[in-house]
Structure formats: C-alpha cells, structure tokens
Structure 1
Amino acid sequence: MTIPHFLVIPYPIQGMVNPFMQFSLVLAKHGCKITFVNTEFNHNRAQKTTSSDQDKFIGSQIKMVTLPDGLSPQDGRTDQIKVLLSVKSSMPSQLHKLIQHVNAVDLDNKINCIVVSINMGWALEVGCKLGIKGAVLFASSATSMALCDSIQRLIDEGIIESQNGLPIKKQVQLSPNMATMDTSNLPWCNLGENSKIYFDHLVQELQILKLGEWWLCNTIYDLEPGVFSLSQKLLPIGPILASDNNTSSFWQEDATCLEWLDQQASQSVIYVSFGSLAVIEANQFKELALGLDLLNMPFLWVVRSGNNNNENHAYPDEFHGKKGKIVAWAPQKKILNHPAIACFISHCGWNSTIEGVCGVVPFLCWPFFSDQLLNKWYICDVWKVGLGLDKDEIGVISRREIQNKVEQLLGSEDIKAMSLKLKEMAINNVQEGGQSSENLKNFINWAKK
C-alpha cells in the first residue's frame, strides 16, 4: 500500500475551511499526505491573523496551496452567490493545472483522492478526468445532506415545489425511524432572495457530488441514527476536532478572553456568538445588548469585526455591560471547553453545534438561515440540550425573552444531564475502536488501494 495523498478543497467560507483543516490534521495523524487548496484571498487573510508558528500545528504533511477565486481584491466576499458563481467559472481549469504541477513534482506520491465540500463538486469532475477518485466531506449535518439528496423525491411526493423548492406540505418524514420535520426548516428555504438561485444550483450540485464514492459527515451515528438508513454513502466520522488551534481563521482571535474566563466562577458565563456570516439588524442588536444587561451575569460576546454592517453595532446608551467582555473574534473551541461557560447563545451553525455538544454546553438557539433552523430542531426537540428564542409580534427577540430563556435553560437539570450524555457519545465515537474512528480508518484504507 502507498501513502494516500489527498487534495482537500473546501468552499471558501470560514465555516467550511475550518472543519476541512481539522479533517486534514486528522488525516496527517494517520500518516497521510495532504495538499490543502485555499483561495488566494482567504489564504492572505489567514496569514495575517494566525500565529507565525502555525506550521507546527499544520505539520509537514500538509502543504498549503492557493488558487484565485476569480474576484478582484476589492470585491467583497459577503455576496455568497457572487462568490459561488465566480468559483465555479474560474477555478476548474486552474485546478487541473495545479494537480498536474503537484504530481510532476512528487512522482512517487501523486494525488490519489480529492475531497471536496458542497458547492465544490466541479473539483470531482476535474479529478474524474484525471483518473483520481473522489470523496465529499459535508460540514453540515447528515440530515441536511440527506434532505438535499432527497429533493427529487420530495418533488415527486408533492412535498415541495419543483421550480423553487418551497414547501407545499408542512411536514416531512424522510424515513419511518426519523422524527417528522417542519418543511419550513429545509436548508434551501431560508436564504431570502437567493433561495431560488441556490436551489437551482443545489439540484445540479447533488448530481455532481455523486461522483464522490464516500460522503463523509462531521457527525456521529448516535446524533442522527435514522438518517443513515437512507444512504449507504453517508458515513459519520465526527466529531472532527483534531486541535483547539484554529490555523485557518479569517479574523484575529482575541486570546485575552481566555484569561478573563479564568477569573470567572464555574458555569457562570453566557457565551454569545453568531458565526462568520450572520448579521444582526440594529434594533435586534440593541435588544440583545440590553438582554445581557438584564441578566446581571458575566458574558462573553463576539461582535464580529470586518463585515459591512458595522453601523449596526451601535451599543444603546443605556447599555452598561460591566460584567461582560466583548471581542471581535474568539478561539471558540477553547471557550466552549472552559469550565466558566454556562450556556451558548448560538446561531446553530453545524460547527458550533458540534463544538457545543463536545463542550457539554447547553444552547440558546438563535438561527438565521440555511441549515441552522434544522440544527435548532435537533438541539431543542430531538436531543433536548437547548431552548429556542422566540420572536415577538414585530419579529424581534426581546430583552425579556433573552432573560427568561437563559434563566429557564440554566435551571433545567434535564438539559444538563442530556448535554453530558451527548458529550460521552461523541468522545466514545472518536476513541480507538469507536464507530467514527473505525469509519475513518476504512476510508483511509480505501484511499491507499
């Protein structure tokens, strides 16, 4: 058997780049070689924000390479449809040349498997033409991917519209051993004016992703057991948490928050973070600030810098925030594993969901779009490790709602018990002999052949 050489290429957003780097670190620990493809724009961002000694975390087995995303340096990257279309049109020919160059330099250890994220299926086509096998790594739940893969079935059964994917029926049950889901939570239905464009892309993308012989998921069987009966391709290998060090962050992490957490009492701090893409409207930002004040508890709040809506981040005059610490970006995995954290007010992105589960942190769910609403359903209704925040009659989550739900969450012994149970499940899966661990070994052995 040869040493597998993986070319790993995530879609260029933080929520996909980070789990792909963690996955690469896991592969490196198993003796594999990895060529990691970043866009030039994101690589430059990461170079500015990560430490100069990041090489010791990445390791010699991971080689970082870049390709242009087709946009100019002046173009913003917040319009995801614009990024998606540019990447699809400009990158395939460049990737073909990159692979040929890498293989010419390393004749004894050529790339023999390409691993892509969703939205990057075109890279599987490039690999297929070069005789390189492929796999897909989903940075979302297995259920989210199963729903996307079931689009034609949902159309045939009259559950969604064929033209735009919008719900016709209110509920769907993918298999008899899965709970019934609300169709308003379908991951392509919550993207506003971009929903139709993304739905059309998704239909094409899922066909291309079938070129991947393995569909790897950053999840564990016990979190979503019913979904794995739907497809033999879906394979849980999570939680993928190779390192607490984020070697691919697009923003400078504020490490002082860890020192601040060290000064706080056990399970006393509310952690608030909405990921790398969500933007809060000005009035809602005000209500959140005043809700944190009302609680009169220590809080750590990530108010992301560098987006185009900084004008929304105007703190109300009556906001004191004396007990809190506000940072622009933070080392989230370390925070969620800190004993001072009491709960997590989260957008319910899948990476944050998995990290919170592994940190035994109860959730207050504040989803914005895409698969986040489906993840909230799992957290609140299936796993029962969190509570949802409800909007008022004008569509705002009020300060009183925030106060009441935090108090209710922290007073629930059942939620604390379930949180501990989920963490034990997750750890057991990645330990030697665990199901996720064995699945990953099988995948690597397949790549060696």
Structure 2
Amino acid sequence: MFLGFVAAALCGTGLLMLPASGAVPGSASFTDALFTAVSALCVTGLSVVETHVYWSTFGHVVILVLIQVGGLGVMTFASIVGLAVIGRFSFRSRLQAVAENRSQDLDSTPRVIGGVVLISLVTEAVIGLLLALRFWLGYGKDPGEAVWLGVFHAVSAFNNAGFSLFPRNLEGFAADPLVCLPVAAAVIIGGLGFPVLVQLRRAWRKPLRWTINTRLVLWGTLILLPAGTVFLALCEWNNPQTLGALSGPERLLAAFFMSVQTRTAGFSSVEVGQMEPLSWLGMDVLMFIGAAPAGTGGGIKVTTFAVLVYAVAAEVRGNEQVTALGKALPAYAARQALVVVLVAAGVIAVSTGALMAMSSYPMDRLLFETVSAFGTVGLSVGVSTALPVAGELILVVLMFTGRLGPLLLASALVLRERRFRYRLPEERPIIG
C-alpha cells in the first residue's frame, strides 16, 4: 500500500509537470506539482498555489482523478482495474483490499469493493447534480460549466479533499444553504467510512446487527458535529471578519459548515486565517480526531478516540475490562489506540517544531497547518503558501503519514513482525 501510494503520487506529479497542466506557458516546478499531487491523492486539499488559476482544465482533471483514486484507495482502485482487465480479483489484490478497507472477510472482498464503488459514484452523482443545478439556475453559469463545477466539487467533497475551483474556496457561498448543505452532506457521508456505509446500505433497518465499529462511528459523529458547531458559533459569533458579517441563521449555517470541514475536508465558507486563536485550538482537536476508519477522512479516527475514552472510563471506575456500548473490547484495541495517538502527537510536535525553526510564523498557526496536513483536512491559515521548500516537504510527509495511518506506515517501513521466544520478568513502575 505504501509503495502503491508513492507510485500514484509520482505519476500525478509527472502529469502535473506537463506543460498542458499549467494555465500559463511553461511547466510547474517539481515541488509545486509534488505537493499538489500528494495533497489530492491523500485527499487533503492543502495547496501552495491557487488551484483555480494556476492549473489548466487538464490539470484540474488530473487533480480530480487523483482525488477519486485517493478516496477509493490505491489498492481498491488497482483491484477494480484488475477486475476490468482480467475479469477477476487476484489473491494478492484481495489481501491488499482487505487491509485497505479494514474488511475481515476475504471471500467477501469483491462484494465489498463493489459496494464501495457504488456508494461513491451514486453519492457523487446526486451531489453533483444538486450543485450543478444551483450553479446553473442560481448563479447563471453555462450548463456545461455548471456540470463541471458540480462534478468537481461533489467528488472533492465526498472524498473529503476540499479542493475548489472558486477564488477563496467557498467563501462566496457562506450564506447559500443550497451549496453549503449538499457539500456538507457529501463530506459527512464520505467521512463515515466505507465499512459503515456498506453495512448501513445492507442493514439500515436492523440496528441490532450493526457492529461496534458502526455504532461508535455514528455516535461519535452525532456528538462531534453539534459540539463543533456550538463551539465555533460561540467563538466567532461577534467576529466581524468571519461570522459577525452574516445574519443569525447564516452564522449558524457557517458554523455548522466549518464544523463539518474539521472532520477532514478542506472547504471553507469563512476566512480561516481571520478566526480567533481559540477557534484554531478547538479545530486542532477536531481535526486531530478526524473521521471514521477505512473512509475518505483522516485523523487518528473517531473510533480510536472513542476507545481511549472508554479505556480511561474503565480505569477510573476500577474495571479490569474495557467495555463500550454493551460490548467488551479486546485488550490490544486500547494498546493500538494509545500507540496511534502517541505516534500522531509526536509526529505533529516534531513537525511543528521543525517549521518553527525555518519560519517566523507563530506556533498556533504552524500547529494548525501541521494538524491539518496530518489529518488530511486541508484547512489553512495561509502558512503553506509562504513556507520554504523544506517546509513544503514536511507537509508532504505529514499528508502521507496521515492518509496511510501511523501504524500502517510503520509496518510498511519495518516489513516484518518480531516474535520473541522468551518473556522477561514483570515489574510495575509508579504511574501518575
């Protein structure tokens, strides 16, 4: 999977360096093309150039394809191509798709991949149609241009990418629910994760059959989205540079939209760089948590956060076993969650420190940018475009790490599992 993402990123970089990809004569630099390709493939949305004016229509198509491939997953996409070419899945393809989609049944892999593709295409088609009609009838765009804008933003939204073809992203539509709500719906659906979407499609009337993963994702989403909306509304309500310039209902719409984007999409209906530092801190937390596993979102994943919350609750209560929603969680689940959080926090801390050493921006802005890159969110306070090449490469590594996941990336680099034939004597240190 790691090598597959690297190969796809290099192919995208090569295509974006072609003269046809640029809106002006000449080709893009290697770093600009690499950053954009990785950002699109890792469905992040960060950019060091202005997408709508820097790239040509061909470049926009390349970015759109990279977003779709990255959202579906490189291994899943390769399996689809293999099925189309030779008419069947190879055993290796099944193993890779199982790892990428977090499936547990090897025999059902073709069915799972079919469900993933169907959900993706149907959601993107519906959202694209709604947006195209709005751009055509509401904003006077030509039918062809309206369809292209609708399709691009629908694919970008469902895959939690956040790339936009409008100046200043979607700030011009902050007060338009017919644009903001379809985009937010696509982001939420994509952020639920394909295992959850496939199960809901098959058994949405039978909640008792839902797995613990599905229930944790749904409960986490229902809690975090309203909490983020209320938090951002309270922090930004009277800020004239963000929500303060809107009416009451429009402020609630913008607060909800921005709360949705912290689930790892990168669209913005207000200028993030003008938000209050307290808002940035809260958004850092939401971006760090992220969306659901095996989906188009990033972050440590809402299930990882939920497992740690239940582990803390069990320890405080003195329970030997960690339980969640009427189920007992295996001991290794809490260990894996702890490792993911610590590795992610360490990577973000080191990256933020490195950026502080090579730029003059304050820590709160740099921390926001690194968390956004690691969480494959794409929201920016305007730092990415002003970083030196070394800083851009740090963000590239962060986007790769966030998309693949700390444990997966570490496993791919180690390439083997260590087994010990002995056990050391136990001794308990003082904790806390």
Structure showing the higher strand proportion among its residues: 1
Structure showing the higher helix proportion among its residues: 2
The two structures share one fold, judged by TM-score above 0.5:
no
TM value normalised by structure 2: 0.30
TM value normalised by structure 1: 0.29
